[in-house]
Structure 1
């Protein structure tokens, strides 16, 4: 007798709850998608090479976004292509689990792990002519789920290697993305550290976080009002913008004496240990949680978490707000609990917050006051901060570890340049120009001599790289 895996049973149950047809797949057609992203560019190149190798095989190769939208499709088998058109497994159609029921790419995206769904495993009968293998692709720098590689063939064809091919293509796509992102280091996870649960302490009296912008304070006030009224709150915005900090500040105002923990989402394979570590505390009085990045949770984990939040929290329990990039990214089981959504603007839209945050972060790094020159303050305030507060924190920590008075020469060279997407050689040249010109007492003549350039060339390079050297104090 065939054994049905728990993952497959859970997916079938979700498909039924979503109201997916048992007879025919009826996915939603979008027709528009971003075909110029780094993920699409690299995925297309990887699948094109793989298609050249498999051109004589009846295999459809597809790239999808994180919502299951099919972005492109390759196959040398016309009969298979026509058949895939009949079930709408084609560019522009969404094949998420919610839209098409249990299928390879939908289940891979829901659980965020490589998945093989054979003919009889599909929820909808019209898909049981096929076997599908899919592997999710994560951005190697941010760790964000970008989409999936999906391989589909006829159900009677041998499929033992299909999943391995999908995993190899997904890995190749991520590696190519890293190579083309100018060598930025991927997000590192310490061995054995698959998620974080941190106790959030009250701010030190020596380094209070004060004098923040009106837009930040209004967001905190709105969150406090919602929590006081007993409503479930979601703070949404770009990663690193301070969503968890905002929620923690608000919870502290409403429940100043309670224990408070920040809970980071786990890797899919570590969901069980994640639940076992912190959820026993859910029923404890005077204990609250800020659930960070819930958009990283798989659908089954979100459903399980919803059950616990609804069933194990007492009426007087401390609030349990969540954070995500945007409201629609919150898994549906948790989205239904959210009653108030608070938008957290990115740091580039809160210039008034940059120096108060920098001073606070510098004190945390050194445990004493660290000064910033006017030039450094101007450079920090003028920078766009694509990495938001997390990037500011790293920049300030590195600068404060080297000096008690931070000047522009202690800041990364790219902060003084408007140029982007430079090759490594050009980026090195830009950094050298900035380094030499930021030496105390440096002049254009001395910099040109050290760099082996004429003064005219130095000026031309400053314009080419968009280097803006702040005025000296």
Structure 2
């Protein structure tokens, strides 16, 4: 294996990040997200370019792929069936995410992380399971906006010549960008990518690994009940509002009960992905020390729940199994019959003391170091009702933390500074947010704010009262 000291600086930094992410050195365990939008301009242009290139390389042991900006493999072309089978074994296949965070140092993951053309040879990969390959990847930017759209990735055996691999990938990426520019008129923006529906998770520094502990009595009681049930071999259903931390309490309890367990976490697939999704369970359930957390089972069709129940029951031995749902009565009967213990997870609004510890945790995850909150920001976070629960809190704080080392109210969405009231129209919400934006500017006077907003001071005071805007400081 390549000595760490011999790695180039970029690869060494990537290895260090891979270690911090908790990526396995032995095996790649990427996320399966299923299908994607095939109407995007990037995908259509990239597929056309790679299809043309594949015609000239059909006899070569090379796999050509497109990925999106998150490392999700969108398609794959190769005339070498033995290479395709080998890539299937490490999940370098359509529907799987291969970002640096998921798979450690690899060509496409590093190209996306650094946004530069990248070649990763053999033992330069972080995971030993990838050391038989050489990967060349080049990021593709939208030629109009400069936004990262994805990458072109070429993969071959590590024993094959790689001298021209990066040049071919660079040519394909350039041709894709040129074709996108030529066809860009009138095209709609890129759709929001779908979330993950399948993940094999090892003990990483995530909420599920138990790295966040000093939380409310409500949370610790739910965690304690879950740990007791799992230790006794019971099947647990964590119920509560979406985003409240149902899967986290299960994963954290699993970590503390059986520290060496692998956790297979899954969410309901789209209808077109059901068969592929079900096919993923059989090889994973047969592996030792694997626990299962099935999220949002209340969204599963009854027939899919029945198929999954049969897979679990015939896995060749007891499988640590738990699930989440909004209400127990909505769990399909086939899975509800397996449940021994029901754990209620309270919404975040009922555990206000958890808000700031969770916010600090989310900020540290986003920045890689501690981030400060001003007293005004702390009050705004603590006083908000969080209808989207912990998931919404993490999203808001991570967005703010990526822009500053000290989060103030001006870095938070407008609704966090408004008191409860009637549902605002789009015009009212815009007006409220503009007032908040101006008033949050350090040292601004009410007279100056009135001039900038084109309002009288009396009108601003009336609007502050109308929208319930806090004017701390």
**1:296 maps to which of 270, 294, 299:** 299
- Are 2:329 and 1:336 equivalent residues in the alignment? no
- Normalising to structure 2: TM-score of the pair? 0.57
Q: Aligned Cα RMSD in Å?
A: 2.2
Deviation of the 1:246 alpha carbon: 0.5
Equivalent residue number for residue 116 of structure 1: none
CA offset digits 1:300-336 (Å, max 9, x no partner)? 0001111122222513x4x210001110111111011
Deviation of the 1:284 alpha carbon: 1.9
CA contact (8 A) 1:365 1:400 kept: yes
Equivalent residue number for residue 398 of structure 1: 399
Equivalent residue number for residue 212 of structure 1: 215
The size of the alignment, in residue pairs, is 283
**Cα–Cα, structure 1 residues 198 and 388, in superposed 2: closer, same or farther, change >3 Å?**
farther
User: What is the rounded CA distance, in whole Å, between the counterparts of 1:194 and 1:212 in structure 2?
Assistant: 27
What SS does the corresponding residue of 1:241 show, helix, strand or coil?
Answer: coil
User: What is the rounded CA distance, in whole Å, between the counterparts of 1:389 and 1:231 in structure 2?
Assistant: 26
Deviation of the 1:210 alpha carbon: 2.4
Unaligned runs of 5+ in 2: 1-188
Deviation of the 1:341 alpha carbon: 0.4
Equivalent residue number for residue 353 of structure 2: 352
User: What is the rounded CA distance, in whole Å, between the counterparts of 1:194 and 1:215 in structure 2?
Assistant: 28
Deviation of the 1:263 alpha carbon: 1.1
User: What is the rounded CA distance, in whole Å, between the counterparts of 1:340 and 1:426 in structure 2?
Assistant: 46
Equivalent residue number for residue 273 of structure 2: 270
**2:228 maps to which of 225, 245, 265:** 225
What SS does the corresponding residue of 1:288 show, helix, strand or coil?
Answer: strand
User: What is the rounded CA distance, in whole Å, between the counterparts of 2:321 and 2:290 in structure 1?
Assistant: 9
- Are 2:410 and 1:409 equivalent residues in the alignment? yes
CA contact (8 A) 2:348 2:386 kept: yes
What SS does the corresponding residue of 1:262 show, helix, strand or coil?
Answer: strand
User: What is the rounded CA distance, in whole Å, between the counterparts of 2:454 and 2:409 in structure 1?
Assistant: 23
CA offset digits 1:169-226 (Å, max 9, x no partner)? xxxxxxxxxxxxxxxx999444xx7733242533379993121111101100000001
Deviation of the 1:264 alpha carbon: 1.4
Equivalent residue number for residue 239 of structure 1: 242
CA offset digits 1:233-273 (Å, max 9, x no partner)? 00001101111111000001111011112111111221110
- Are 2:315 and 1:312 equivalent residues in the alignment? yes
User: What is the rounded CA distance, in whole Å, between the counterparts of 2:278 and 2:301 in structure 1?
Assistant: 13
CA contact (8 A) 2:366 2:398 kept: yes
User: What is the rounded CA distance, in whole Å, between the counterparts of 1:207 and 1:370 in structure 2?
Assistant: 20
Deviation of the 1:457 alpha carbon: 0.6
Unaligned runs of 5+ in 1: 1-184
Superposition map of 1:35-74 within 5 A: none
- Normalising to structure 1: TM-score of the pair? 0.57
Deviation of the 1:391 alpha carbon: 0.8
Superposition map of 1:60-459 within 5 A: 188-190=192-194, 195-203=197-205, 208-315=211-318, 317=319, 319-417=320-418, 418-459=420-461
Deviation of the 1:388 alpha carbon: 0.8
User: What is the rounded CA distance, in whole Å, between the counterparts of 1:203 and 1:457 in structure 2?
Assistant: 49
What SS does the corresponding residue of 1:230 show, helix, strand or coil?
Answer: coil
CA contact (8 A) 1:210 1:356 kept: no
User: What is the rounded CA distance, in whole Å, between the counterparts of 1:229 and 1:207 in structure 2?
Assistant: 20
